[in-house]
Amino acid sequence: MFGTTFNSLHSYEDFGFRVTMRIIGTPSKIKVIERIPHSNQIFDFSTISGGQEYTERELTYRYNFDHENKIALDSNMTAFINHLFQPQNQVVFRDDNIPNYFFLAEVRDSIDDFERRFRKTLTVTYTCYPFRIADNIEGTDIWDTFNFLLDTAQDVLFHLDGNSQVCSLINAGAVITRPVITTTMDNVTIVTNNETFVLEKAGEHSMPDLVLFPGQNELTISSPNAGTVHFGFRRELI
């Protein structure tokens, strides 16, 4: 039965509520625009920090639960509503009809409750992070779930033998992403977007200034040592 999963529990399998309607809202662009006085010329500063910013998005679902017992109706509704309001921040939310992606969502607003005979109807709005996030990191390339419209087959693991290598990474998402870089050797240098980053020790690294823009990104990786460099990142789509 079609439903949603929020905070690890399924609306139908765990509470008996099936989805009968949904509205998948999109985020809005946050525009920073200045108009020159006495002129029709407009300057758009929205991407001055490196990428377009977006508002949060809203997902609205209508759930039905049917039962001939009034106590069961009220008990399941109470359990479901309390579960939805339990998280204090955005947690993983999944829609059965959107496979291979998840949202980060929170229920903040009041829930509309309607009862008619043996049916409870709830209308729930989830406030979400602007983008849906892929389950698999790039480079996984699971062909059973590969989407030829949205997915990209690419190498994200590079082998160095005391030399330098020019590599290309494709960010198939709609927003800049910051990869987690895992190296098996010390003293790795990465040059991209006219910036140089030095990873002195082997291990996992996250650097806020090393970003991958939507589309193709060229990087030069070098090290005096032999080993591997892995870039871990997920696709984020509207």
pLDDT, tens only, 46-61:
777 778 889 999 999 9
Model confidence at 144: pLDDT above 90: no
Tell me the DSSP string of 69-88: -HHHHHHHHHHHHHHHH--S
DSSP three-state, residue 143:
helix
User: Which residues are registered as beta bridge partners of 113?
Assistant: 122
Distance CA 3, CA 22 (A): 10
Give the whole-angstrom CA distance, residue 192 versus residue 171.
14
Task: Please give the residue that has the higher pLDDT: either 123 or 193.
Answer: 123
Mean pLDDT of 6-23: 96
CATH classification (class only), 4-130? mainly beta
- Does the pLDDT at position 39 exceed 80? no
66-70 LR contacts (CB < 8 Å, sep 24+) = 66/118, 66/119, 67/16, 67/118, 68/118
CA distance 229 to 208: 18
- Whether 72 shows a pLDDT value over 90: the answer reads no
pTM of the model: 0.87
Percent of the chain with pLDDT over 70: 99
Q: What is the pLDDT of residue 121?
A: 94
For the domain with range 143-233, which CATH number is right: 3.90.550, 3.40.1130, 2.60.98, 2.60.120? Answer: 2.60.120
Helix H or strand E encompassing 157 = strand 157-161
Question: What is the residue extent of each domain of the chain?
Answer: 4-130, 143-233
Q: How far apart are CA 218 and CA 212, in angstroms?
A: 9
How far apart are alpha carbons 53 and 176 in whole angstroms? Answer: 10
pLDDT for 150 beyond 80? no
How high does pLDDT run on average in the chain? 91
Q: Has residue 185 got a pLDDT over 90?
A: yes
Q: Quote the pLDDT of residue 44.
A: 83
| Three-state secondary-structure class, residue 203 | strand
138-158 burial by CB neighbour count: b if 16+ within 10 A, else e? bbeeeeeeeeeeebbeeebeb
